[in-house]
Structure 1
Amino acid sequence: MQLLRSLAWIVALGAFCTGSIAAAQQATTVVKTDSGSVQGLKQNGIDAFLGIRYAAPPVGDLRFMPPVPAESWDGTADATGYGAPCMQLYSASGPNESDLTRGIQGIFPTATEAKIDNEDCLFLNVWTPAAGDGGKRPVMVWFHGGGYAYGSGGWPAYNGRNLAEKGDVVVVTVNHRLNAFGYLNLAAQFGPDYAASGNVGNLDLVRSLEWVRDNIAAFGGDPSNVTIMGESGGGSKVSHLLAMPSADGLFHKAVIQSGPGVYSGKPADAAEYAAAILTASGVETVEDLKTVRADQIVDAVRKVTPASSAMGRGPQFGPIADGTIVPRDPFLPRAPEQSSDIPVLIGYNKTEMTLFVASQPWFGRIDEAGLKGMAAMLGEEVAAAVDAYRAMYPDYSPTDIASMAMGTRFVRGTYLLADQQSRTATAPVYVYRLTWETPVGGGILRSPHTLDIPLMFDNAAESTALVGSDEGAAMMAQMMSDAWIAFAKTGKPSSALLPDWQAYTQTKRMVMELDVEPRLVDDPEKSIRLLPSK
């Protein structure tokens, strides 16, 4: 620890000597946490503490077990660089790669993290305007996307520096256990000692919020004003935390972006999947479970998981409704009572699926006949969505209509969750629909999955590979970061660039369409919202 501290000061001294980069490399003040002291580096005037342990390494006897607090350390721990991401289940190359999507790797480095992942991954990052100044700033905690399979809180798009400076807030991003390491239901195989194993990834998130409660004041944050946020899989994680008894009282507002988590996995399905993984990895005993190499577990998952699972047609990792940790599906048959007083901001992007299908051979090439054939092949729900979207957007290309129809789960899940929450909650629900279109790639992506992230983080200038570099991107970043900061501070999203944002209710389903000319609309995708379910 002392060596690491010395290295941090060497870096800071070198930066001081080079003049122009001194501000970027200046050491922060030392902050004392409940496990020990930490020191990071300033990022252009904002204190950044990266790679702080919030729990003990989940290895050996702690593998597949609920997280426990990190052991105390002496001296000052290094907080100048990110901690390792969890073991990743991401294919670093494949038929969906293109120059455009490869460029986006610069801000969402999934392929890179597959090279540096580690089972020892329970780290978080803090950005604050002034650590140790006694401030009581709103805290914005971000849970990353990547489903429950890959990702980390260290992606460049999630850098909290700009948001912390603009809003005078404290930003936290979190790594946690993923895929088999966080969601392998071993209770049927190994008994009650492993009763929590199917949900330990989400218990890591709870543990990170406990760390925030106990330590964030030392970083200038207010533990009584915590907003949790997440996109895609991160949105599902937020949805589940709203319904987890162990998370009750640890946060006060919630943001769900392109990832409504209405349902949970079922224990029996998860146990069957786990059994197949154990067989493929050669695990037979508890001792095997503790000692099998992490890469063997990952290899076993790849062997037994069909390719169709990536499209939702097969076994999936994620929280399971075990009756205890996750008592039931989070928002069925009703919204969770424990979160009725939590303001919720929820939304989605107009053409979510273009990010995933832009490299497919048919993208940009199908005609109306091809669209009808694709819809028929993908099922009645997609076919009905094609008809609904064609009526809404008569000038859109067949490719655009196909992409939108394939992404109705984002739309329908958002409105289902918003309906359930607004039906019983005492706190307001605010819904958005991002309709601004990125100019990158000649505009072929329109409003894709993840487009919201660099905008609400105020990281547009650092994310030109996705948002472009025109005035529209800058305006959208100003508008959305304004709104997210205001929500964290007051419970209502607002910006001078937006009309008054009215809450979503059962009588007026008001949705803010986020664009350079934003507008508040009543039930803008009613025809999709009311599509019959399978």
Structure 2
Amino acid sequence: MTVVATAYGEVRGVREEHATVFRGVPYAAPPVGARRFRAPEPPEPWEGVRDAAAYGPTAPKHPYAPALAELLPDPVIPGDDFLHVNVWTPAAGPDAGPFPVMVWVHGGSLCHGSNAVGLYDGTSFARDGVVLVSVNYRLGTEGFAFLPDAPANLGLRDQIAALEWVRDNVAAFGGDPGNVTVFGESAGAISIAALLAAPRAAGLFRRAVLQSGPPTAVPPATMRRTTRAIAKRLGVPATAEAFRTVSTARVVEAQREVLAGGNPLTGGPSFQPVVDGDLLPEHPAAALARGASGDVPLLVGTTTEEYRLWFVPGGLMERVSPLGLRLAMLRKRVPRAAARVYGANRPGARPGEILGALATDLLLRLPYNRLADARTGGSTYVYEFAWPSPVLGLGACHALEIGFVFDRLDSPDAHALAGADAPQPLADAMHGAWTAFARTGDPGWRAWDETRPVMVFGPDTAEVAHAPREDERALWG
């Protein structure tokens, strides 16, 4: 099977090891020209067979800062037709299905990344009987600006359009449209949490995996300030009509200047989903706490040392002084007792390490614990990735687990973060848990209950810990 008929035309994939791959298959029309800052529209049907062997264009974006760019490869492929998906389907072909489907939503702070990143190759999933779909969506200003004359959350609307494409077309690739699991990391997980809270996305997926990205969103006023700052750089009003008169390249450069210097842990201007009263009627954490998507099994978790991806490469770890730690705690209203407890649990830790551990828990681990607590008695599974990378002393940092989930430790992208000798048995365990969850809804350990079970992947093995670091979690109520 190398030619498949979609609702918009036929596509020709390419046979590779363990899979047939279809890259750059459009799910929406190019969002350029008059379509900029508009909701996604269906692609134009095509005649004949469209070649789908090579990765398609990537969404407009600015590069990572140099220190991160060496660790997080982010290819740029020019072109307007970037609202597309890649599909890896088992080599056995569609007649051997239907196979469970996993849909990957990439991270990158909602302004980086694409489905062309080599680490996101879905061959291992196809090898193990899963159809893997990876999604592109609009990023940065084009996808998440808040404008008075355009819909909010355009990037999320793109993701919904992609999931609708999956619903309508994945059976032709051997997938089961009734057994779809969405999974994503960082901004991808934040996006999925928003979709779990968005009534318009109901029914488009059966299960969800959130990796290191909590249920979060901002009020319109917050994103309006970021949008206006970009418009000021451009010298135009903060409206979709005005932004359309400016080239995408200029918008991306202004966006880069406004966002420079911030990161997800230390703060600063950023892009986030917006509680717009339409696609997102309320904050995702509040919606999920009151039972939204309560029938959707969840697998959620973090890495042990998320903060090291931002604190180590740029030297922030060394720059944080004891006074800087105290001031940061005051700004975030962190109890003074927290520094003592976190410090006692990490003998010899520097102020930057204590600040990072506090930030990791405050922004990621605690929201996931609260989400799991709100769903106690349901199908919620919690994990922690604890294997420390030897590269630059990154430890168990943000994004490190992705190569293990995709079972791609042999790829150059994985080597950038994990080195060349990362433990394959840990990838076997983690990838196996994700595929089991997609297949059955059970990753292989006990669902969340009053004992607070957490599957800890590494540093030496994968095993369940009950209420790990409970003394730290209890500080936050």
TM-score, normalisation: structure 2 = 0.91
User: Which SS does the other structure have where 1:237 is aligned?
Assistant: helix
**1:448: which partner in 2?**
397
Alignment pair present for 1:468 and 2:429: no
Distance verdict in 2 for CA 1:243–1:224, change over 3 Å: same
Q: Deviation per CA, 1:314-360, whole angstroms, max 9, x where unpaired?
A: 33212111111001001216536341111000000111111222234
Confirm whether residue 161 of structure 1 aligns to residue 123 of structure 2. Answer: yes
Which of 25, 32, 43 pairs up with 1:70?
43
After superposition, where does 1:410-425 map in structure 2 within 5 Å?
A: 410-420=364-374, 422-423=375-376
Q: Distance in 1 between matches of 2:329 and 2:78?
A: 37
| Match in the other structure for 1:510 | 453
Larger-Rg structure: 1
Which residue of 52, 73, 80 maps to 1:109?
A: 73
Q: 1:272 aligns with which of 225, 232, 249?
A: 225
Q: Report the Cα distance in structure 2 between the residues aligned to 1:287 and 1:453, rounded to whole angstroms.
A: 39
Residue in structure 2 matched with residue 497 of structure 1 by the alignment: none
* Partner Cα separation in structure 2 for residue 396 and residue 303 of structure 1: 34
Q: Which deviations, in whole Å up to 9, do the C-alpha atoms of 1:260-311 show, x marking residues without a partner?
A: 12x2111122223323433432445765443421112123323444634665
Paired residue for 2:177, among 198, 223, 233? 223
Corresponding residue of 1:85? 58
**How much has 1:362 moved relative to structure 2?**
6.0
Q: Which runs of 4+ in 1 moved over 6 A?
A: none
Match of 1:457 in 2: 406
Counterparts of 1:131-146 in structure 2, within 5 Å, are 131-133=93-95, 135-146=97-108
Matches within 5 A, 1:372-521: 372-380=322-330, 381=334, 384-394=337-347, 400-408=353-361, 409-420=363-374, 422-423=375-376, 427-441=378-392, 444-462=393-411, 463-470=414-421, 473-494=423-444, 501-505=445-449, 507-515=450-458, 516-521=460-465
Confirm or deny that 1:170 pairs with 2:131: yes
Work out whether residues 265 and 359 of structure 2, in 8 Å CA contact, stay in contact via their aligned partners in 1. no
CA distance in 1, matches of 2:264, 2:347: 31
After superposition, what is the alpha-carbon deviation per residue over 1:402-451, rounded to whole angstroms, capped at 9, x for unaligned? Answer: 4423422222222122223x14xx6410001111222334xx22211111
CA–CA distance in structure 2, aligned partners of residues 217 and 126 of structure 1: 12
Q: Distance in 2 between matches of 1:294 and 1:382?
A: 44
Distance 1:308 1:465 in 2: 23
* 1:465 CA displacement: 3.2
Structure 1 contact 371–402 (Cα < 8 Å) conserved: no
CA distance in 1 between counterparts of 2:166 and 2:6 reads: 10
Deviation at 1:81, TM superposition (A): 1.1
> Is contact 1:242-1:336 (8 Å) kept?
no
In 2, distance between residues paired with 1:338 and 1:84? 35
Q: In 2 relative to 1, CA 43–374 (structure 1 residues): closer, same or farther, beyond 3 Å?
A: farther
In structure 2, give the amino acid aligned to 1:513: V
Letter in 2 for 1:151: G
Shift of 1:30: 0.5
Specify the code of the residue in structure 1 equivalent to 2:325.
Answer: A
Q: 1:264 to 1:72 in 2, by over 3 A?
A: same
Residue identity in the other structure for 2:30: P
The Cα of 1:477 is off from its aligned counterpart by 0.5
**Residues 63 and 384 of structure 1: is their aligned pair in 2 closer, same or farther, counting only changes over 3 Å?**
farther
- Alpha carbons 1:389, 1:401 under 8 Å: kept: yes
Helix, strand or coil at the partner of 1:230 = strand
Aligned to 2:24: 51
TM-score, normalised to structure 1, is 0.82
Taking structure 1 as reference, are residues 87 and 379 closer, same or farther at Cα in structure 2, changes over 3 Å only? same
* Letter paired with 2:276: D
Match 2:199 to one of 212, 222, 245? 245
Which residue type is aligned with residue 47 of structure 2? D
Contact 1:134 1:218 in 2 (8 A): no
Deviation at 1:184, TM superposition (A): 1.2
Partner amino acid, structure 1, of 2:139? L
> Do the aligned partners of 2:234 and 2:254 also contact (CA within 8 Å) in 1?
yes
Q: 1:313 aligns with which of 256, 262, 267?
A: 267
Residue type of the partner of 1:510? P
Which structure has more helix as a fraction of its residues?
Answer: 1
Name the CA distance, whole Å, in 2 between partners of 1:176 and 1:362.
Answer: 31
Matched residue SS, 1:483: helix
How far 1:401 sits from its partner (Å)? Answer: 3.9
Distance 2:314 2:5 in 1: 51
Corresponding residue for 1:6?
Answer: none
* Partner of residue 38, structure 1: 11
Instruction: Give the corresponding residue for 1:329.
Output: 283
Q: Percent identity?
A: 37
Structure 1 residue 148 corresponds to structure 2 residue 107: no
CA contact (8 A) 1:88 1:117 kept: no
Q: Which amino acid aligns with 1:212?
A: V
What's the secondary structure of 2:226's corresponding residue?
helix
Distance in 2, Cα, partners of 1:302 & 1:395: 37
Secondary structure, in 3 states, of the residue corresponding to 2:42? Answer: coil
Q: Which amino acid aligns with 2:36?
A: R
Q: Residues 221 and 508 (structure 1 numbering): CA distance in 2 closer, same or farther, change over 3 Å?
A: same
Distance 1:440 1:283, change over 3 A: closer
